[in-house]
Amino acid sequence: MYPKKLLKTISMLCCLFIFTIIPMGFRILPVHAEILIDGVIDAGEYNQSISLQNGNYQLFWRYEEDKVVIGMKAKTLGWVSIGISPKGKNQMDQADMIIGWVESNGETKIHDAFSKGPMGPHPQDDTLGGTNDVTVFTGMELDGYTIIEFQRLLDTKDAYDLPFPSSGSLKYIAAYGSKDEYTSMHAFRVSGDAAIAKKAHSEIDAKAAKELYDKTPSLLIFDVSNAWKIGHLPGAINIEMNDVAQNLPKFNKERPILVYCRGEAPAIFVADLLMQNDFTDVYRLLGGFEAWVKAGYPSETYKEKTNIRFQIGKETYWVDDIAKTMDTKPIILEGRTMLPIRFLAESLGARLNWIPATQEIYIYLQLLEIKMKVGYSQAVVNGKTVYIDSNNPKVKPVIIPPGRTFLPLRFVAENLNCKVDWNSGKQEVTVTYLN
């Protein structure tokens, strides 16, 4: 028996050699740089699997964005197949069939086929007017087993392919035969339903977490420790492990979530709980808060209150009585104070996302979300459409020459749970935010 890593190296060299000498009609491909399809199935390579006939037939699969990578392994030197969504028990009627084998000269053959009846026949899709949608594949015979690995789209849109399910269950018919001729009688055949495990959360280190934070204004950050007040990631929400389940309805499933703690176990629990409740974009910070600080990234401590003051026509504004300078001045338009909202948002720890193509502005502060659009008198606040000013439809985001986007201050501040006070004598707006 040769070591597995040596066999993988030999496999990749053989695949590359065969690819260079075989006719163009033969579609074996070398190993993909990111999706390993090499005819060897390693432990942990796939996160979904079923084992049948005491391990004599094994099916493996994993999801890669809009694709599925599938591995078939059977105790035979003949053909091996999988049928997707057959009709009827232990029958292949209307099944999307993938049949593969390794010939005596080492060539891997694979057919993208469709079964026309309970016992076949199962002609190839391209002979029926469809297309061959297995784009990457290879195979190997090893220790009495045939292994076939391939990739295809989850939904090819081909009339003779069926979508490969990404949730719920996989209805299948599995078979293998003792000969390379795929029309020969099967030695084993069985059908069933396999539960599809929910996707696991992603584990990322501090560097990857910082990159995610920098490029994703909509990122929700959950600190599930009891030490949030003494130090946390910028913008993190303090929600302890035992309180997460009852608050699930408050969380937007369309927003990515980063979870961390001072210890690993609570963060793992919460990240898994989110995934089990159909949150699909969940990350866990390995090493928690300590890893973030050790990497030199910024953190915050608890602050009970933030006060921000703006004066009409003045570039200077104050955050907790500390003077700061804008590159523009607040104005009054349609009776409302308007300014580039960045100066308010950043003072509160909110994140902004400006979409130039659609002239939309997204504002995120913990669980709060505001979406506004230049020239529109309505906004979307936490999924609900509301008027910016129910008494004056002319109050709306505007672009002021030479190209600055001004938003109505009161509307944004109040929908970020701030208190707004107006001093007409000083022409001054005070915004107060309580944590």
Condensed to tens digits (0 to 9), the pLDDT of residues 172-214 reads 999 999 999 877 888 999 999 998 877 778 899 999 999 999 9
How many domains does the chain contain in total?
3
Condensed to tens digits (0 to 9), the pLDDT of residues 156-179 reads 999 999 999 988 899 999 999 999
Q: What SS3 string covers 386-434?
A: EECCCCCCCCCCEEECCCEEEEEHHHHHHHCCEEEEEECCCCEEEEEEE
Any domain includes 299: no
Q: Is 289 found in the same domain as 411? A: no
The mean pLDDT value for 111-130 works out to: 92
Q: Is 348 found in the same domain as 409? A: yes
Condensed to tens digits (0 to 9), the pLDDT of residues 324-354 reads 999 999 999 999 999 999 999 999 999 999 9
Q: Is 272 found in the same domain as 245? A: yes
Two structure tokens written together for 191: 């059908």
CA separation for the pair 26, 5 (Å, rounded): 27
Q: Is 213 found in the same domain as 348? A: no
Q: Is 60 found in the same domain as 42? A: yes
Residues linked to residue 136 through DSSP beta bridges, in sequence order: 151
The domain boundary, picked from 246, 264, 294, lies at: 294
Q: Is 354 found in the same domain as 265? A: no
**Please, are residues 354 and 372 in contact by the beta-carbon 8 Å criterion?**
no
Q: Which of 85-94, 146-155, 243-252, 402-411 has the lowest mean pLDDT?
A: 85-94
Domain residues for the domain of 249 are 202-294
Condensed to tens digits (0 to 9), the pLDDT of residues 254-290 reads 999 999 999 888 999 999 899 888 898 999 999 999 9
pLDDT of residue 66: 86
Q: Is 350 found in the same domain as 228? A: no
Q: Is 67 found in the same domain as 44? A: yes
The domain boundary, picked from 268, 294, 320, lies at: 294
Any domain includes 22: yes
Task: Evaluate if residue 30 carries a pLDDT over 60.
Answer: no
CA distances from 37 to 9, 88, 260 (A): 13, 32, 34
The domain boundary, picked from 195, 224, 240, lies at: 195
Place of tokens 């990159």: 211
End-to-end CA distance of the chain: give it in Å, rounded: 64
Q: Is 408 found in the same domain as 274? A: no
Between CA 234 and CA 237, with CA 236 as vertex, the angle to 5 degrees is: 155
Task: Evaluate if residue 362 carries a pLDDT over 50.
Answer: yes
